[in-house]
Structure 1
């Protein structure tokens, strides 16, 4: 089964609808939900409803540095073979 990494957008500890739509489009693949700068445990059940079997929590405070965000995402993609 193909692996699909999806960067999950959240707001107030809830998954944004746009992310759920992307997850729906990726159904049938092994979905890795990449949750950045949010409480992954708060959204775990919702992500599982949409097929995320793997949830990767990225909790370093990278919100002010896009370069570090990109580097971190590249590292996660490589680590999980996405």
Structure 2
């Protein structure tokens, strides 16, 4: 039984293509540099858009908390004003 498993594993290992240990290309150094610059510019634009959304979400969050506090204060004042007064 073990022999069958060993033979099967050896067969699978020999049938698999060899993995390349690095990133190799036929492109010239200038083409690679140009592609790298384009990728960096795209990444910077994505970060800028993400930063803008983070600021917008933060401002909206603070606004919601402010409205909650103001609403709670108004509700407490109204409840206090409408309660029957002891005579």
TM-score (norm 1): 0.21
Higher strand share: 1
- Higher relative contact order at CA 8 Å, sep ≥6: structure 1 or structure 2? 1
Higher helix share: 2
TM-score (norm 2): 0.20
